[in-house]
A and B are shown apart, each in its own frame.
Chain A
Amino acid sequence: MANGLVVADYRYGFSKPENYVFKSRRGLNEDVVKQISGFKSEPQWMLDYRLRAHEIFWKKKMPSWGADLSKINFDNIFYYIRPTDKQMTKWSDLPKDIKDTYDAIGIPEAEKKFLAGVTAQYESESVYHSFQKKWEDMGVIFTDMDTALKKYPELVKQYFGRSIPAADNKFAALNSAVWSGGSFIYVPPGVSVDIPLQAYFRINAANMGQFERTLIIVDEGAYVHYLEGCTAPTYTTDSLHAAVVEIFVKKGARCRYTTIQNWSSNVYNLVTKRAFVEEEGIMEWVDGNLGSQVTMKYPSCYLVGRKARGEVLSLAFAGAGQHQDAGGKLMFLAPETSGEIISKSVSAFGGRTSYRGLVKVIKNAKGVKCNVRCDALILDELSRSDTYPTMQVDEDEVMIGHEASVSRINAEQLFYLMSRGLSELEATSLIVNGFIEPIVKELPLEYAVELNRLIQLNMEGSVG
């Protein structure tokens, strides 16, 4: 199998004519940062924060321990684009070409089915936002970050950059300097948001970076599930996506954050995601990465309160020319905390997947339970998979398990399925879908269906 090396065109690989109100010039300096902040009429503290981050960004070295980032040219990127002048609240008010783009990825249907609220981000800023009154009445805030900064400045100021400071890494610094858009969610104590909150992101301008900033605060005993799905059109020049997601899970609260990303194969997807989890709180990251040229993403849980729990379910698919460097980090910083990382990766047509994980247990964090499992499926001889697990355990009274496996498509499975009339592509896709099922089953049905379809699309034209 896999004797042809043609990678199928992305189904969603189209682009819309650019029609922007404002576009910053290429490249980054202090003036660009000031311009962005000024354009948004931000408070002084945010401008100061951006400028400090901008300084840190240029001082920080490029991370050299992971994927190859040497081809990113920071001077050739647009750092801010604003598609329309004001916020839309109703679907019918959206500009037609933006609606066309969303129609092509099926957002209206999705919304009809089960969405409570949508913040659909087009380019750097949210232009569409609707939210069910019911949640507003319960005190739930779900809006884009720019609006949150205007309407809830104290809340934003209290948490912004607290779990991921600008100095955390070069791309967190970059995001802190030029961030735009992203979601803000606050769930008051005891409130359970029983329908997932959902946002779609999309890059649609050549050479533009997308630097959304998401901040989620789940107050004591509350629950929320946030979903983001990304598909992007294909462009010939490099595109950069450097997002920051900060989450605060308070005592007894629970947060699930689900991502399915399908960036076009020229995008550098370098995202920092971190959750602080307090006593008996639960954080669950479900992170699916398809597409992009390079992804580096390791959602992390800082388990700071007793009995806090963190889970990372990571899924990666790397095709030709792609490197998915993904995994998770669990920091056990309190007694009786527990956590699990499950990683499933598939590499094909010369693609490369890496599992990179960190498990850290500090001294006196007694009774920690942790399980790490990473499985890699390699579809052909050209593809590659590596595992880079790191464990730093400074406490003896802990239970930590680690399992890893690397496998190839089993010829007997293939024969069995083909003997029932499935083509080689159908059989291989089915086996791959079975391999990732432990993660897919955690997704809402609609996402699961779309993911299975994307996997099949990613494999078409390359088998048999």
Chain B
Amino acid sequence: MLKVKNLKASIDNKEILKGVDLMVKPGEVHVLMGPNGSGKSTLAQVIAGHPAYKVVSGKCSVDSREITKLTPDKRAKLGIFLGFQHPVEVPGVSVFSFMRKANKNPQSKIQNSKSINIFRDELKKYMSELKLPEDFLRRALNEGFSGGEKKRNEILQMMTLKPKLVILDEIDSGLDVDGLQLVATAIKTFKKNNPRSSFVLITHYARILKYLKADHVHVMVEGRIVESGTGRLATKVEEKGYQVWQTV
């Protein structure tokens, strides 16, 4: 599914990713942990195609297709989805009109031929799973949303777009215990319905692993993945922090 090989990327001539290797197979759940500034979010943004980052060398492919030269929309159409750590506010654009536009892409299971009402009903079903209020669709995208609403809105987009590769950047931050549980349940349901979709969860904490089982855990420090393992690695991080891997 996702293959990252010796990926180096920089922003403003500053190298952030210093040779990342990562392999994610269909249906797998990967957890990426690491201290602030280790390059986790950068990796996510580089995979999604943020134009501010420059890929210096290395490879990144989805289903054997090299993606580093593709614009973000082309990557989305290949089935890549990034749940943002800080979802961006777009004033004046309602959640619904945005969702309609986003779901016109052929990757989505929801096709144009489906009537607007069927689409709305589907959205409403997902919204009730996420306990989002009725008027949510009419509100401006992310504008004035609480931290929790923003994160649940990211999950709502994931549910409608049904991507093949889901990267969630700190989906657990800004969520209270109930919110986290809702999101984790939604992810589990999504996984059940889309068993070949893969996940990369970026997080500081192991707490989301109480609800979701990870196949692989990776620790990222100073722009490299320094150790990979199972759930036990996350426990180790929780107990001891990142000092053991840090050089300075």
* Contact call B93/A431, Cβ cutoff below 8 A: yes
Chain A interface (Cβ within 8 Å of chain B)? 410-413, 415-424, 426-427, 430-431, 433-438, 464
* B72 near A415: Cβ-Cβ < 8 Å: yes
- B71 x A420 contact (CB < 8 A): no
- Is the pair A415, B92 in contact by a Cβ cutoff of 8 Å? no
On whether the beta carbons of A430 and B93 are closer than 8 Å, the reply is: yes
Q: In whole angstroms, how far apart are the Cα atoms of A416 and B83 in the complex?
A: 10
Partner among B51, B76, B87, B92 whose Cβ is within 8 Å of the Cβ of A421: B76
Query: Which bucket holds chain B's interface residue count?
Result: 20 to 34
Alpha-carbon separation in the docked complex, A407 to B66 (Å): 35
- B49–A433 CB distance below 8 A: no
Kindly specify which of B23-31, B101-109, B128-136, B239-247 makes contact with the partner chain. Answer: B101-109
CA of A419 to CA of B87, assembled, Å: 11
The reply to whether B90 and A413 form a contact with Cβ atoms under 8 Å apart is: yes
Q: A417-B102, A433-B92 are in contact. List 17 more A-B contacts (CB 8 A).
A: A410-B88, A415-B50, A415-B51, A416-B88, A418-B71, A419-B72, A419-B76, A420-B76, A420-B101, A420-B161, A421-B73, A421-B105, A421-B107, A430-B93, A434-B93, A437-B91, A437-B93
- Is A434 within 8 A of B91, CB to CB? yes
A420: nearest chain-B partner, CB-CB: B102
A437 and B76 form a contact (CB under 8 A): no
A132 CA to B53 CA in the complex, in Å?
62
CB distance from A345 to the nearest CB of B (A): 15
Say which residue of B49, B50, B52, B101 sits within 8 Å of A422 (CB atoms): B101
Residues of B within 8 A of A424 (CB): 71, 73
The interface centre, meaning the residue of A420, A433, A434, A438 with most chain B CB atoms within 10 A of its CB, is A420
B84 beta carbon closer than 8 Å to chain A: yes
Cα A422 to Cα B90 in complex, Å, equals 14
> Which residues from B are CB-within-8-Å of A420?
76, 81, 98, 101-102, 105, 157, 161
A438 to B108, CA, bound (A): 31
**Are A422 and B88 in contact, CB atoms less than 8 angstroms apart?**
no
**A434-B90 contact, Cβ under 8 Å, with A415-B72, A419-B49:** yes
Contact at B48–A419, with CB atoms within 8 Å? yes
Interfacial chain B residues near A417, Cβ < 8 Å: 90, 98, 101-102
How far apart are B166's CB and chain A's nearest CB, in angstroms? Answer: 12
- Which partner residue on chain A sits nearest B140 by CB separation? A434
**Closest residue to A464 on the B side, CB-wise?**
B71
Q: Does B82 make an interface contact (CB < 8 A)?
A: yes
Q: Do the beta carbons of A416 and B92 come within 8 Å of each other?
A: no
Closest to B97 in A: A430
Asked if B77 CB lies within 8 Å of chain A CBs, one says yes
A435 cross-chain contacts in B, Cβ below 8 A: 91-92
In the complex, residue of chain B having the shortest beta-carbon distance to the beta carbon of A438: B92
Q: In the complex, what residue of chain B is closest to A425 when comparing beta carbons? A: B73
Within 8 A of A (CB), among B182-232: none
CB-defined interface of B47-66 with A at 8 Å, one 1/0 digit per residue? 01111100000000000000
Q: What number of residue pairs across chains A and B have CB atoms under 8 A from each other?
A: 84
Min distance, Cβ A315 to any Cβ of chain B, angstroms: 12
| 12 A-B pairs whose Cβ atoms sit less than 8 Å apart in the complex | A413-B88, A413-B89, A413-B90, A416-B84, A416-B90, A417-B98, A418-B72, A418-B73, A419-B81, A419-B82, A421-B102, A430-B98
Are A416 and B102 in contact, with the CB atoms below 8 A?
no
Complex Cα spacing A415 to B92, Å: 17
Bound Cα distance from A297 to B108, whole angstroms: 45
Report B-chain residues with C-beta under 8 Å of the C-beta of A426. Answer: 101
When the two chains form the complex, which single residue of B75, B92, B140 contacts A436, counting CB atoms closer than 8 Å? Answer: B92
Chain A: CB-nearest residue to B76: A421
State how many angstroms separate the Cβ of A440 from the closest Cβ of chain B.
8
Question: Provided the pairs A419-B76, A421-B76, A421-B102 are in contact, do residues A431 and B52 lie with their beta carbons within 8 angstroms?
Answer: no
For the complex, what is the distance from the CA of A427 to the CA of B141, rounded to whole Å? 13
Docked Cα-Cα span, A431 to B73, in Å, equals 16
Q: CB-CB < 8 A to A434: which residues of B?
A: 90-93, 140-141
Q: Which residues of B contact A413 (CB under 8 A)?
A: 88-90
**Across the interface, do B72 and A431 meet the contact criterion of CB distance under 8 Å?**
no
A433 to B157, CA, bound (A): 21
Min CB distance A443 to B, Å, is: 14
Specify which chain B residues have a CB less than 8 angstroms from the CB of A437 in the assembled complex.
91-93, 140
Chain A residues contacting B84 (CB-CB under 8 Å) are: 416
Whose C-beta in chain A lies nearest to the C-beta of B50?
A415
How far in angstroms is the closest Cβ of chain B from A20? 44
List which B2-47 residues lie within 8 A (CB) of chain A: none
In the assembled complex, the CB of B188 is this many whole angstroms from the nearest CB of chain A, namely 23
Q: Would you give the shortest CB distance from B72 to chain A, in whole angstroms?
A: 4
Q: State how many angstroms separate the Cβ of A434 from the closest Cβ of chain B.
A: 3
Q: Are B73 and A423 in contact (CB under 8 A)?
A: yes
Question: How distant is the Cα of A386 from the Cα of B159 in the complex, in angstroms?
Answer: 44
A299 to chain B, nearest CB (A): 23
B77: chain A residues within 8 A (beta carbon): 421
Closest to A415 in B: B50
Q: In the assembly, what is the distance between CA of A423 and CA of B105, in Å?
A: 10
Task: Tell me, rounded to whole Å, the shortest Cβ–Cβ distance linking A463 to chain B.
Answer: 12
Tell me the complex Cα distance, A424–B91, Å. Answer: 17
B55, chain A: closest CB distance, angstroms: 15
In the complex, which residues of chain A have a beta carbon less than 8 angstroms from the beta carbon of B93?
Answer: 430-431, 433-434, 437
Residues on A with C-beta less than 8 A from B48 are 415, 419
A416–B49 CA distance with the chains assembled, in angstroms = 10
User: Which residues of A are found within 8 Å of B52, using beta-carbon distances?
Assistant: 411
Q: Give every chain A residue within 8 A of B140 (Cβ-Cβ).
A: 434, 437
Q: How far is the CB of B82 from chain A (nearest CB, A)?
A: 5
The answer for the CA separation of A410 and B90 in the assembled complex, in Å, is 9
